[in-house]
């Protein structure tokens, strides 16, 4: 039975459960459940604090886990990223009152409040900056107003929390984060676990592809086929079938959903007709 750590709350929990459900795994019915078994897929899920997941996975007690890249790096645990999942995207940045600091070099001698002490201490040391770090559990933006620190280092997504606190970012992002699948560094010796992990990753990759691609079908004249195929090259190569009407073919290819409308316009301009897109519900590449 594959043992998988999942986030039990916060920004990662809902989207992770949704993705696993789409991948065909059973999920807990109540947010108080700490552990469930999915007997059909031979998987056991443990719902843990997102911050603790890298520690459990690095200990080898759980085979893999879903957490945030920033949380993995902050923990310093012996675990590695094996698949990015595209949700809970955020940046991690320094911020302060507009007058306080213009660049990271200005942070010398200041106090930085953060929930991510590991990332911040390492980053400051790498940059040769001497600043002290104060650990806070959350709502870090308020630390400046209340005089606990002059600078904060925190997760920034829309920037609303910073704006509301009258703060501005300093310098470039310290890191870009998203939800990821992790496993213990150096794991992979056990063939049975390895094949189950491989199947789990293929299922999640299938969900990612189904979310980012649509299937496109259209009819076009044979003379236009090369130009049409250049617009819709598909992942491997498009399927081309003859139509009953001579001189016409039907083409089928996967296209990125974000580009579907532009591609449909371009195909129409080429003379293609009966252009359809349909959702992909699941896939194995």
Ligand X SMILES: Nc1ncnc2c1ncn2[C@@H]1O[C@H](COP(=O)(O)OP(=O)(O)OP(=O)(O)O)[C@@H](O)[C@H]1O
Residues forming contacts to ligand X in the complex (CB under 6 A) are 9-12, 50-51, 68, 70-71, 88, 90, 138, 155, 157, 177
How many residues in total does the chain contain? Answer: 285
In whole angstroms, what is the distance from residue 123 CA to residue 77 CA? Answer: 17
Structure-block tokens of residue 78:
């012996």
**Pair type for strands 151-156 and 90-96:** antiparallel
Single residue of 18, 33, 130, 157 touching ligand PRP by CB under 6 A: 157
CB-based closest residue to ligand PRP = 138
Residue at token pair 């996967």: 254
156 makes contact with ligand PRP (CB under 6 A): yes
Q: Give the Cα separation of 141 and 148 in Å (integer).
A: 10
Q: How far is the CB of 253 from ligand PRP (least distance, A)?
A: 36
- Beta carbon nearer to ligand X, 50 or 206: 50
Q: Of 169 and 280, which has the nearer Cβ to ligand PRP? A: 169
Q: Between residue 107 and residue 146, which ones bind ligand PRP under the rule CB under 6 A?
A: 138-141
230's CB contacts (< 8 A; 6+ apart) are none
Question: Minimum CB separation from ligand X for residue 14, in Å?
Answer: 10
Q: Tell me whether strands 111-114 and 151-156 are parallel, antiparallel or unpaired.
A: parallel
Q: Which stretch binds ligand PRP (CB under 6 A): 148-156, 194-202, 216-224, 235-243?
A: 148-156
Locus of tokens 């949380």:
71
Residue 258 interacting partner from ligand PRP, ligand X, none (CB closer than 5 to 8 Å by kind) = none
Residue corresponding to tokens 């194995």: 284
* Contact positions vs ligand PRP (CB under 6 A): 138-141, 154-161
């Amino acid at each position: 039975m594959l043992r998988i750590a999942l986030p039990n709350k916060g920004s990662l929990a809902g989207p992770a459960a949704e993705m696993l459900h789409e991948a065909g795994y059973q999920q807990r019915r109540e947010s108080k459940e700490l552990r469930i078994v999915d007997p059909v897929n031979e998987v056991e899920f443990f719902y843990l604090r997102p911050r603790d997941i890298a520690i459990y996975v690095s200990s080898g007690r759980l085979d893999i886990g879903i957490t945030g890249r920033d949380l993995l790096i902050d923990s310093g645990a012996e675990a590695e990223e094996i698949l990015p999942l595209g949700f809970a995207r955020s940046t991690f940045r320094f911020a302060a009152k507009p007058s306080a600091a213009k660049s990271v070099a200005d942070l010398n001698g200041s106090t930085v409040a953060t929930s991510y002490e590991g990332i911040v201490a390492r980053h400051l040391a790498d940059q040769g900056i001497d600043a002290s770090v104060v650990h806070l559990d959350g709502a870090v933006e308020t630390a400046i107003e209340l005089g606990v620190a002059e600078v904060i280092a925190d997760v920034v997504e829309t920037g609303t929390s910073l704006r509301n606190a009258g703060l501005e970012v300093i310098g470039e992002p310290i890191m870009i984060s998203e939800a990821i699948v992790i496993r213990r560094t150096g794991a992979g010796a056990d063939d049975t676990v390895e094949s189950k992990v491989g199947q789990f990753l293929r299922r999640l990759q299938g969900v990612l592809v189904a979310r980012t691609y649509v299937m496109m079908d259209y009819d076009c004249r044979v003379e236009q086929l090369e130009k049409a195929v250049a617009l819709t090259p598909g992942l491997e190569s498009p399927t081309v079938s003859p139509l009953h009407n001579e001189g016409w073919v039907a083409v089928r290819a996967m296209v990125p959903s974000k580009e579907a409308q532009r591609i449909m316009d371009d195909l129409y301009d080429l003379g293609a007709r009966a252009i359809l897109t349909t959702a992909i519900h699941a896939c194995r590449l």
